[in-house]
Amino acid sequence: MSSVRIEVPASATPQEAAALVAAVEQFVRDTTAAVVETPRTDAWTRVARAEAVSRGAAWDAGPDANAAAWAA
């Protein structure tokens, strides 16, 4: 929370000053935009997703696409 300077009248009692501070803090909490965290993925998941995106292997082209290369 950012620092805000609020002038409390000298005639305010300690209870009034505390109520003012509580009201301002509640206002700041209610009007602050929520921060949405992106879910963190572990290294295994990131690598698996990267491999799935770049999948262009010959073995994926069909049953007999590169049978000679696999038989060697």
pTM exceeding 0.75: no
pLDDT tens figures, 17-64: 999 989 998 998 899 888 888 888 888 888 888 887 655 555 555 555
Query: CA 33, 24, 22, 6: dihedral to nearest 10 degrees?
Result: 140
pLDDT tens figures, 11-29: 999 999 999 989 998 998 8
Dump the DSSP string for 30-63. Answer: HHSPPPPPPPP--HHHHHHHHHHHT---GGGS-T
Domain boundaries, the chain: 1-56
- Cα–Cα distance between 15 and 21 in angstroms, integer? 10
